[in-house]
Each structure stands twice: as structure tokens, then as C-alpha cells.
Amino acid sequence: MSITGYAQETTNQRLYDQANLLSTSEKQTIEDDIKKFQQQTGMDAVVVTTNTTDGKSWEAYADDFYDYGGYGKNDTNDGFLFLIDMEHRKYHISTTGEMIAILSGSRIDQIIDDAASDMKSGNYYGAISLVLSDVEQFVAKGAPDGTVYNAETGKLEHIKSLSPIKIIVAIIIALATASSVFIIIWRRYQLKGSVYAYPYYDFGTVTLTESQDIKTSDIVTTRHIPKNNNSGGGGTHMGSSGTSHGGGSGSF
């Protein structure tokens, strides 16, 4: 299917079995599952099977189908497309908008691995159902590790912060260090039970031999994740439409 031939989002159709891999009943079930997915997540899901990618890579074909088809929810076109490419024997997940942050590289790898058995055995209906279920579960969990999608840049932002446990440990170490210094000074000048007046102005210098920094605020860093050239998930890239995508692929 050429770019100009991509279906525009004028109907509720989200399943395009161009390779005729599914039975009539399987198609109906998948369409129902996609509707439920949309209702539960507020994001879009598109499933495509094809016998040819029109000279494109499976990744580019999936990205273009989603973008030029006008799919996606909300202002950032949140959602994903699952492609089964019979020409190259590849299956691919293309993510857009907030879904890029939710389906991290490791999560996409997990989905690809989960679907591998069904894909290799020719159970395409089972693979599609599993992918929809996995993605819905990950959407419910939210983006991992403070990952946020920046709609303006098309990049991922990672928020780094100290956990409460790490902060407590840091405070304990700092207090222990300060206490050790105090005890050393106290013993050195025999302050306990004495009226001795220590000449602070003359000898009031303390040299700390150990220090501990405590970070109490979050730091947000932005980086562009390079495209991953292997078949696994991870990274972002720009589609021909100028839209940022994430994703990953598997072979069968």
C-alpha cells in the first residue's frame, strides 16, 4: 500500500488484515479487543498484516501507516501499531506520543519475546491478542523510572531522584561523620567534667577528613536516544512525516 493509499482515520477501523491471516471470527474478536483497549487506556491501537512493505523497511512502513492514516489519541497521537510483515518475516511494534515513554526498550523486548512462539508457529491471532494484552498492562503501570515524553522535542526525559531510603542512609552517614569529629575533639581537649576554656580563636579550626553530599531535589536531564539497529526495542527515531516514534521488531 502506498503512502497516498493509507486509510485515513474517518472510520473506527483499526484492523487491516491485508495478508488474510485471520478468520472472520478472529477479526471480529480483535476489533472488539481494540475497542476495549481504547476505552481502558485512552490510547490508540492499530493492527496491520501485509504481504509487501512497498520497498520500505517494516519499521518505516509501520510508522507511515500510523502517521499518514491519522491514527492516535490526544494531541500527541498516543498509541501503537502492531505490524505483521510476511514479506520480510518480521513483526514490529511502532509507538507514538506518550506510548513511547510507556513502552520502554525492555518492555518492548518483553512483548516481542512473549509473541515469538505464536508468531513462529503461525498463530497470528494468538500473537495479536497477546500483544494487545501486554501493552494494556504496561499502560496501566505507567512509564517506568520517571520517563516522560516531551511532545515539543519528540524526545524522552528521564527524571533522576533519590529514593527515601537513599536519603535516610545519606543523612545517617553524614550524622555519623559529624559525631565522630565531635568525639575526637571532645576527647582531645578533655572537655568532660572540666571548666577548661578552650581558646577557640586560636585553635578553632576543624579539618574534615570525610564528607557526604545529600541531594534533596530532583534533576531533570534530557537526551536523545539513538536508534537501536538490532531487532530489539529501544530508542527513538523520526518517521517520514516528521513524527517521532519508538519501537522494536522480531523475526519469525
pLDDT digits (tens, 9 = 90+) for 122-139: 999 999 999 999 999 999
Helix, strand, or coil (residue 72): coil
**Contact of 154 with 243, CB cutoff 8 Å:** yes
Instruction: Please compute the mean of the pLDDT values over residues 148-157 and round it to a whole number.
Output: 62
Is 178 within the bounds of a domain?
no
Instruction: Please compute the mean of the pLDDT values over residues 69-80 and round it to a whole number.
Output: 97
Is 135 within the bounds of a domain?
yes
**Contact of 34 with 44, CB cutoff 8 Å:** no
Is 180 within the bounds of a domain?
no
For residue 129, the model assigns a pLDDT of 99
Pairing verdict, β 155-160 and 44-50: unpaired
Long-range CB contacts for residues 200-203, cutoff 8 Å, separation at least 24: none
Confidence category of residue 6, pLDDT binned at 50, 70, 90: low
Beta bridge partners of 93: 82, 248
Instruction: Please compute the mean of the pLDDT values over residues 187-202 and round it to a whole number.
Output: 57
For residue 231, the model assigns a pLDDT of 59
Please say if the pLDDT value at position 73 is more than 80.
Answer: yes
Please say if the pLDDT value at position 168 is more than 90.
Answer: no
- What's the total number of domains in the chain? 1
d(Cα 249, Cα 82) in Å, to the nearest integer? 10
What is the reported pTM? 0.69
Query: 63 is in which domain, residue-wise?
Result: 15-159+243-251
Please say if the pLDDT value at position 54 is more than 80.
Answer: yes
For residue 144, the model assigns a pLDDT of 84
Instruction: Please compute the mean of the pLDDT values over residues 141-162 and round it to a whole number.
Output: 66
We report the CATH number of the domain holding residue 102 as 3.10.310.50
Instruction: Please compute the mean of the pLDDT values over residues 222-251 and round it to a whole number.
Output: 74
Is 214 within the bounds of a domain?
no
Is 84 within the bounds of a domain?
yes
Could you give the percent of the chain with pLDDT greater than 90? Answer: 58
For the CA atoms of 117, 123, 127, 128, the dihedral, rounded to the nearest 10 degrees, stands at 170
Is 34 within the bounds of a domain?
yes
Q: Tell me which of 179 and 86 has the higher pLDDT.
A: 86
Please say if the pLDDT value at position 165 is more than 50.
Answer: yes
d(Cα 22, Cα 5) in Å, to the nearest integer? 22
Is 198 within the bounds of a domain?
no
For residue 226, the model assigns a pLDDT of 42
Please say if the pLDDT value at position 109 is more than 60.
Answer: yes
d(Cα 115, Cα 125) in Å, to the nearest integer? 10
Is 187 within the bounds of a domain?
no
Confidence category of residue 173, pLDDT binned at 50, 70, 90: low
For residue 146, the model assigns a pLDDT of 66
d(Cα 79, Cα 81) in Å, to the nearest integer? 7
